[in-house]
Structure 1
Amino acid sequence: MLLRLRVSLPDRPGGLGQVAKALGTLGADILQVTVLEREAGRAVDDFTVSWPGPVTPAEARDRLSAVPGVKIEGVWTTKEVPGTALDYDLLSHVVAEPGRGLATLVDALPGLCGAEWSLAVADGAVRHASLAAPESFDLPEPPPRPAAVDASELRLMLLPVLDHGVHLVVARAADGPGFHRAELDRASRIVDVVAKLAARSA
């Protein structure tokens, strides 16, 4: 089973090794570590791990919470296999067929963002939706710029694509953490590039 764990830990020598050792002791194989922030003496890292056998996010959280100084901010299942370069694959598809750029982007965003689904909304209607996305969606007050918000049972990332008149919504289940500003910045940059490529085909 692939899991992602968001961990806040002391930003000092040996801190990362302590978490890695704890994960190894529990039988988890670390596939990737992404540093999201380092400030105020703490670091926030995302670990992608392969965990043998069935384990629930709650069980993984309980097992790691015993590590001194470590705070588990979220544990959730993921389909994002490290090393697959999904962002490059996305851009290759968009360059090959820019007229479908936004639809291709919506399909790719869940894998890129460790989320369950995404969709594009315009004028109150869903224009395109990824697998597992709802057929309709009541968009909160559309923000003028990218924003991360928590809604009922969902963590949302809202990404306006103003030149195309749509808002993109990316949803993560509530058992995962809210979208970090580093995730929001990455997604915003990808959306901006795809929107520009798609506009050239209009």
Structure 2
Amino acid sequence: MLARVRLSVPDRPGSLGLVTSAIGASGADIAEIDVLESEGGRALDDVFVQVRDRDQLTAVCQRLDALPGVQVTGRQMPAPPITGHADLELLDHVLTAPQRGVQTLVDGAPHAFGADWAAVVEYANAEFAGVVAASTRAPEPSQVRLSSPLRLATPRVTGPRGAEYTGAALVPLGSGALGLLLVREDGPEFHRSELWRVGQVGQIVGTVLTPV
């Protein structure tokens, strides 16, 4: 099973080698490493690993946390499949058939952006007005609560029984009243590089989107 481990590591030669050795010693296989940022003498990386189960993922994280200067800042299992261009494929599907673009967007966004579920939400008078469409695994629309204005951000999102999710992104769809909500129920927060990427997609699809 594919898992994502987000790491803060010293930005110096040899750090990545220690990380890969620790993962290999845990019996896991590295599928991909995505460098999110490198500044102030540290780097933030998403490491995608193949593990048997959650127990093995825990063992991997414990080994990594034990390395000097290395800190596990988040993890997600299962992680989305790594295709490399899932966001562009989603954009193509929406633009090809904009009349059903809202549902196409929410169905494909979790895979494309590493979320557990997605919803297209609507705002009225600058306030959250409700859910227009949602992907599978999303809570009932009446159970989704958003207190943030419609802007590119990582908002607080509450679901059933007041549960607050660990990672969420809110993305305006063009300049209208619709936004794309992405939620990781138990995973790392959306990094600013991830926000920028999904924000670009939001601006493009917002020009052609036809509400359901």
Contact 2:174–2:206, Cα closer than 8 Å, also in 1:
no
Gaps of 5+ in 2: 124-128, 158-162
Q: What are the equivalent positions in structure 2 for 1:188-199 lying under 5 Å apart?
A: 188-198=199-209
Q: TM-score when scaled to structure 2?
A: 0.84
Contact 2:148–2:156, Cα closer than 8 Å, also in 1:
no
Specify the alignment match of 1:14 in structure 2.
14
Correspondence 1:177 to 2:188: yes
Gaps of 5+ in 1: none
User: 58-67 or 177-186: which moved more?
Assistant: 58-67
1:15–1:79: structure 2 CA closer, same or farther, 3 Å change rule?
Answer: closer
Amino acid at match of 1:96: T
Contact 1:105–1:191, Cα closer than 8 Å, also in 2:
no
Correspondence 1:167 to 2:171: no
Amino acid at match of 2:29: D
Displacement of 1:13 = 1.0
d(CA) in 2 for partners of 1:59 and 1:115?
24
1:55–1:13: structure 2 CA closer, same or farther, 3 Å change rule?
Answer: same
d(CA) in 2 for partners of 1:66 and 1:25?
13
1:7–1:150: structure 2 CA closer, same or farther, 3 Å change rule?
Answer: farther
CA deviations over 1:126-145 (Å, ceiling 9, x no partner): 111011011222221324x2
Specify the alignment match of 2:96 in structure 1.
96
RMSD: 2.0
Contact 1:119–1:126, Cα closer than 8 Å, also in 2:
yes
Contact 1:149–1:178, Cα closer than 8 Å, also in 2:
no
Specify the alignment match of 2:135 in structure 1.
130
Contact 1:58–1:75, Cα closer than 8 Å, also in 2:
no
CA deviations over 1:125-184 (Å, ceiling 9, x no partner): 2111011011222221324x200134453021111225341122111124x221111111
Displacement of 1:84 = 5.4
Q: TM-score when scaled to structure 1?
A: 0.88
Q: Alignment partner of 2:139: what SS?
A: coil
Correspondence 1:41 to 2:41: yes
Correspondence 1:105 to 2:110: no
d(CA) in 2 for partners of 1:82 and 1:184?
18
What percentage of aligned pairs have identical amino acids?
Answer: 39
Q: Alignment partner of 2:27: what SS?
A: coil
d(CA) in 2 for partners of 1:30 and 1:5?
11
Instruction: Provide the aligned length of Structure 1 versus Structure 2.
Output: 197
Contact 2:36–2:46, Cα closer than 8 Å, also in 1:
yes
